[in-house]
Amino acid sequence: MKLVSPSLLSADFGNLQRDIEMLNASECDWLHVDVMDGIFVPNISFGQPIVKHIKRHAQKPLDVHLMIMDPGRYVADFKEAGADIMTVHYEACTHLDRTIHAIHDHGMKAGVVLNPHTAVCLLEDIVQECDLVLLMSVNPGFGGQKFIENTYNKVRQLRALCDRKNPQCLIEVDGGVNLQNAPLLYGAGADVLVAGNAVFKSADPKQTIHDLKQ
Ligand code: DX5
Ligand code: ZN
């Protein structure tokens, strides 16, 4: 599959409705929503009230990436705010299996996120419970960072793990994705690419989304 999930972290927060309408009219598949708590990552983005407003305008599923400690505490809140897909960090959950089940119990697709230093083999006993796995290709916290090249290896390792344990599981990649590395990522086995700066800082965001899907 070749899906694109533009990250609203790079949108113009003063013109969110305008930018969401642009995405509605584009070929993108999901809207990537980055929630940061200033503890798990060194930055604070936004919480449920903003997600609620995003949901009011969005015509595509909200792909909510929780960069917060102990995200199990907020599964119900972000479901209520409008999340359709929820991903939580391996590094932020003590009881990851319980959190993934809670996300499913709230009727959402569930995924685990790995930071760049976290090994794919650690998913061995959780991947069968996941609808998707998100590999961070930058250290989370900020848009516009440089893509980490080792991500290609991790995508290939994860593809092999999914083929063995859960062939339906989607592989998403987030951070520094652009028109140059997108074909290589899809080639390595990625299904969903998140793109913030590559979309919103381009001269023609809709065209860039179209090109990312090729
Ligand atoms: C980073 C966020 C990303 C970010 C991607 O912590 O998880 O989703 O918005 O932005 P780019 O594509 O600009 O690296
Ligand atoms: Zn993200």
Handedness of CA 52, 58, 59, 64 (dihedral sign): negative
For the chain, what percent of residues have pLDDT higher than 70? Answer: 100
**Per-residue pLDDT tens for 90-119?**
999 999 999 999 999 999 999 999 999 999
Q: How confident is the model at residue 1 (pLDDT cuts 50, 70, 90)?
A: confident
For the chain, what percent of residues have pLDDT higher than 90? Answer: 99
**Per-residue pLDDT tens for 145-180?**
999 999 999 999 999 999 999 999 999 999 999 999
Given ligand 1 and candidates 32, 134, 146, 194, which is best to mutate, with the most ligand atoms within 8 Å of its CB?
A: 194
Q: How far is the CA of 125 from the centre of ligand 1 (A)?
A: 27
Please provide the average confidence, as pLDDT, over all residues in the chain.
98
Ligand 1-lining residues (CB < 6 angstroms)? 7, 9-10, 32, 34, 65, 138, 140-145, 174-177, 194-198
Q: How far is the CA of 181 from the centre of ligand 2 (A)?
A: 17
> Catalytic annotation on 204?
no
**Per-residue pLDDT tens for 179-209?**
999 999 999 999 999 999 999 999 999 999 9
* Residue owning the nearest CA to atom 4 of ligand 1: 143
Given the residues 34, 37, 63, 131, select the one marked as catalytic. Answer: 34
Contact of 111 with 42, CB cutoff 8 Å: no
Q: Sheet with 192-195: list strands edge to edge.
A: 3-6, 192-195, 170-174, 132-136, 109-114, 85-89, 62-67, 31-36
Q: How far is the CA of 68 from the centre of ligand 1 (A)?
A: 15
